[in-house]
């Protein structure tokens, strides 16, 4: 039996059940071992590590210097509901997250090394001075709530000082004014950083329209228009990945990377 955390909540695992004390509801016996819901609590130097937790949700709580390493949850919600949850100097190293909800969460100085994430989608929270490595299928970081404003309300997010240089990102999605120059992004032949993307894409669009190969023209114009939607949302720069592509898209992305790369350094107005 291992107690977790400090404050008015105690989580314990026995042979057959989990016993949880919630300040507003007394003792509650949950039918599933490994379900945790933390509501308006403060945790410091707490140990939540290991594979026992299967479902986790936090509401309006704060975690500082907490250990969330080697997790194997079935679902994980960093922040639920309308109140922000905050994680400061916490470690999520070695975790496997098949189903993750970020919600209204703030991360400051957190470590996500050697993780495997299906998605990390932040549209109404803050990500500051945190480090990621390992595989991330979808990395969605927004500078404002943008299209989710009807859910979360209008909010400007803080996304700065983060290190993704050792992360394996399959599908990066930066929108609504995330400053990519304040992040360390992965480099290599499978990634393409597009500075001043509006001008680059405008040059590439004009060149693609003039192509005589109709199939190449169709593919390139479709990819350029997809990138332009990111710029129209407020992005100064864009970042693309061709990591772990399905076979049906490999040829198109190879074509696009090569074509767009040829327009990165060319001078001239858009």
In angstroms, the CA 181 to CA 35 distance is: 39
Residue 143 near residue 178, CB atoms below 8 Å: yes
| Cα 45 to Cα 4, 122, 138, 210, distances in angstroms | 10, 25, 30, 61
Q: Residue 51: pLDDT above 80?
A: yes
Beta-carbon contacts of 213 under 8 Å, excluding residues fewer than 6 positions away, are none
- Of 195, 190, 132, which is closest to residue 159 (Cα–Cα)? 132
Supply the pTM of this predicted model: 0.85
Question: What is the structure's pLDDT at 33?
Answer: 61
- Of 159, 68, 78, 178, which is closest to residue 114 (Cα–Cα)? 68
What is the DSSP secondary structure assignment for residue 47, as one 8-state letter? B
Residue 137's pLDDT band (boundaries 50, 70, 90)?
very high
- Of 250, 248, 225, which is closest to residue 238 (Cα–Cα)? 225
Residue 89 near residue 106, CB atoms below 8 Å: no
Residue 152 near residue 104, CB atoms below 8 Å: yes
Place of tokens 């709580």: 61
In angstroms, the CA 170 to CA 96 distance is: 16
In angstroms, the CA 103 to CA 146 distance is: 14
Q: What is the mean pLDDT of residues 178-194?
A: 98
Question: What pLDDT, in 10s, does the model give residues 103-113?
Answer: 999 999 999 99
The secondary structure of 230-249 as a DSSP string is HHHTT-SSEEEE-TT--HHH
Element of type H or E holding 191: strand 191-194
Question: What is the structure's pLDDT at 218?
Answer: 97
In angstroms, the CA 222 to CA 134 distance is: 30
Q: Mean pLDDT for the chain?
A: 87
Q: Residue 221: pLDDT above 90?
A: yes
Q: Residue 3: pLDDT above 50?
A: no
Question: What pLDDT, in 10s, does the model give residues 67-120?
Answer: 999 999 999 999 998 899 999 999 999 999 988 999 999 999 999 999 999 999
Q: In angstroms, what is the C-alpha Rg of the chain?
A: 21
Place of tokens 């410091």: 44
């Amino acid at each position: 039996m291992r107690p977790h955390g400090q404050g008015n909540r105690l989580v314990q695992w026995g042979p057959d059940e989990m016993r949880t004390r919630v300040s507003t509801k007394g003792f509650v016996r949950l039918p599933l071992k490994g379900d945790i819901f933390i509501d308006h609590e403060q945790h410091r130097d707490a140990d939540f590590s290991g594979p026992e937790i299967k479902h986790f949700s936090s509401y309006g709580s704060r975690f500082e210097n907490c250990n969330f390493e080697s997790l194997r949850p079935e679902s994980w919600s960093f922040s639920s509901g309308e109140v922000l949850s905050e994680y400061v100097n916490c470690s999520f190293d070695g975790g496997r997250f098949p189903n993750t909800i970020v919600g209204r969460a703030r991360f400051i100085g957190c470590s996500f090394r050697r993780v495997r994430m299906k998605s990390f989608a932040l549209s109404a929270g803050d990500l500051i001075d945190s480090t990621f490595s390992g595989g991330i299928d979808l990395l969605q970081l927004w500078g404002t709530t943008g299209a989710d404003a009807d859910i979360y309300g209008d909010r400007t997010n803080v996304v700065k000082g983060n290190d993704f240089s050792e992360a394996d990102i399959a599908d990066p999605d930066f929108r609504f004014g995330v400053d990519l120059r304040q992040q360390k992004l992965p480099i290599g032949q499978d990634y393409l950083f597009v500075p001043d993307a509006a001008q680059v894409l405008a040059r590439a669009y004009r060149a693609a329209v003039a192509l005589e190969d109709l199939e190449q023209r169709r593919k390139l114009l479709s990819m350029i228009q997809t990138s332009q939607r990111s710029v129209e949302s407020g992005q100064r720069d864009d970042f693309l990945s061709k990591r772990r592509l399905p076979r049906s898209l490999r040829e198109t992305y190879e074509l696009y990377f090569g074509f767009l790369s040829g327009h990165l350094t060319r001078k001239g107005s858009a």
